[in-house]
Amino acid sequence: MKKKIRFSLVYRDMWQSSGKYQPRVDQLKEVAPHIIEMGCFDRIETNGGAFEQVQLMYGENPNVAVREWTRPFNEAGIQTHMLERALNGIRMYPVPADIRKLMFNVKKAQGVNISRSFCGLNDYRNLELSVKYAKEAGMISQGALSITHSPVHTVDYYMNVVDHIVDYGADEICLKDMAGVGRPATLGELVKQIKKKYPEILVQYHGHSGPGMSMASMLEVARAGADYVDVAMEPLSWGMIHPDVIAVRAMLDDAGFDVPAINMDAYMKVRSLTQSFIDDFLGYFIDPRNKQVSSLLISSGLPGGMMGSMMADLKGVHQGINTSLKKQGKPELTEDELIVKLFREVEEIWSVLGYPPLVTPFSQYVKNVALMNIIQMTSGRERYGMIDNNTWDMILGKAGWLPGKPGKEITDLAAKLGKEFYSGNPQDAYPDELPSFREEMKKNGWDPGKDDEELFEFAIHERQYRDYKSGIARTRFMNELEKAKEAAKTATSVKMPEQKDMAKTAETRQKRNDPLLKAITAPARGKIYYNLYGEVTEPSKPGDHVNAGERICYIQTSSYIEEIVSPYEGEVAEVVVSQGANVNKGDALFMIKEQKTVKNKKKKV
């Protein structure tokens, strides 16, 4: 009898790996029936961190989105699965245990059948509560291994993680090959050992196309006994995304597996609808290079899903790096040269940082360190001079055990800065918070929602939920979309599309009554810098003149580095923050006395 291989369509992840935004609720509802008509999917990936935050970012309720998206699949008997990050839940930083528990109850009530839970560091301690809470909520618990390739990430290493999460009660195991750098033969051996030791455990493989090895990996894990493979479909397949279901089916059918047939009429309908969503607005936020396969990713290990943010980072710092190089009489770098330089730097520092698998959020942390190192070294400084607090938490063990030992340069730096390594259970550092969120919702007159789903959304995505409730998120998104459309018309890039809108909303927070006094605010939580490249030695000071569109500082967040420009022309009235200051989104950075007509003003150099 032929071995059955079943397919899961990662429709959410297709979009996340392609660009910034995902389809609206009405678009999801439109495409779902035709995905069902394709007749080849036993599972559909329906939600996760990015999915829900994106819904909030453009002013839609993510709870409505999850319920509307899961319903038709539930009715058709197709299983739905979510992705969650263990200690981090469905966000980028740690979540208290009571909020984590509520998450599984809410998602089960919304129609999600399977919880795919992964720890980016493969610390099984972080997965214990995920398995427990998923099972208590009545969900299938799928423990995921964050796959990468390094001297420490051996089959024995991964089997140790498997042993623990199976002991916790996990029903299934997923090989989450988020960068597609898992070596096919090694992955096949890992699946073989899992199946030999735990024959009742279902195994699912998830691999991105990025460096080009995932098709071979799919064949190897299928031959070793895997039960499910994740697939994508045109026009969002290959490149930094996932292999296309048509090619995967043809390969496995030829290899002698029992694979489902594809209704090609329905496939073409889904393909057409997906393209229409791209044409509607989503395409404005998709970098075309994310459709390209790059074997350069093999050495760096960076995941395809973060390529969009990485390209935005490079665009934000490219000019500054070249300005610094030019001043030193050195040749400037093309964007491609800068990409290669970043990949090499990631490869150089990865072992020094303890070989964290490059998956969200740790891929962003390592990439940020690499990028900041390049900036520092371009200006004649040493590596590791600018490491943000989130990255330090990872290094110090506050997010879990690092797979390898940090290098001496990092441990010496930690000692010099008086930082202590953490040896306790990461969850213990984050006390329960639900009561305070429940109290605030009551005070604000906000409905906690069916099955407490609105309470959960507020607690898990506090900042984005506030912006959603106030209407700021929708206004900001519409402004961003208009700018993106204008940029597409003129074929020029628009930097900092949110700045003018952020400054407008800040007017309500001004402490002065002068109508010409405008606040320039932080677009995100992060750290402020004035001299990343050595081209600015101090912030503007009161009395200095600034032009609209002129850079005034940089912000480093946990995910990117970006210029902050002045939306106004005028005179600096107040400098609120200093070099290296930590700020929250919406914090005032500068107060500008706007001037409609400025005469005989000398621009600050």
Q: What is the pLDDT of residues 352-391, one digit of tens each?
A: 999 999 887 888 889 889 988 988 888 888 899 889 888 9
Write down the mean pLDDT value for the chain.
Answer: 88
Main-chain phi, psi angles of 556, to 5 degrees:
-110, 115
More confident residue, 210 or 433: 433
3-state secondary structure of 52: helix
**pLDDT at position 535 over 70:** no
pLDDT of res. 310 = 67
pLDDT of res. 318 = 84
Nearest-angstrom CA–CA distance, 151 and 295: 20
pLDDT of res. 56 = 92
pLDDT of res. 495 = 37
Spell 482-520 as b/e; 16+ CB within 10 A means b. Answer: ebbeeeeeeeeeebbbebbbbbbbbeeeeeeeeeebbbb
pLDDT of res. 605 = 30
pTM of the model as a whole: 0.78
12-28 mean pLDDT: 90
419-446 mean pLDDT: 95
**pLDDT at position 601 over 80:** no
Candidates 587, 473, 581; CA nearest to 528 is 581
Strands, DSSP E only, in 391-544? 517-521, 526-529
Candidates 581, 524, 542; CA nearest to 53 is 524
462-491 mean pLDDT: 88
Q: What is the pLDDT of residues 491-525, one digit of tens each?
A: 433 333 333 343 334 444 444 457 788 899 998 88
pLDDT of res. 406 = 94
pLDDT of res. 96 = 97
Nearest-angstrom CA–CA distance, 135 and 561: 40
Q: What is the pLDDT of residues 54-101, one digit of tens each?
A: 899 989 999 999 999 999 999 999 999 999 999 999 998 899 999 999
pLDDT of res. 308 = 55
All domains in the chain, ordered by first residue:
6-287 (3.20.20.70), 297-428 (no CATH), 499-594 (2.40.50.100)
pLDDT of res. 537 = 47
pLDDT of res. 410 = 95
The answer to whether residues 121 and 362 touch, using CB atoms and an 8 Å cutoff, is yes
pLDDT cut 90: percent of the chain above it = 59
Between the ranges 40-54, 481-495, 502-516, where is the mean pLDDT highest? 40-54
The answer to whether residues 164 and 170 touch, using CB atoms and an 8 Å cutoff, is no
More confident residue, 338 or 249: 249
Q: Work out whether strand 202-207 and strand 114-118 pair parallel, antiparallel, or are unpaired.
A: unpaired
Burial of 439 (0-12, 13-18, 19+ CB in 10 A): exposed
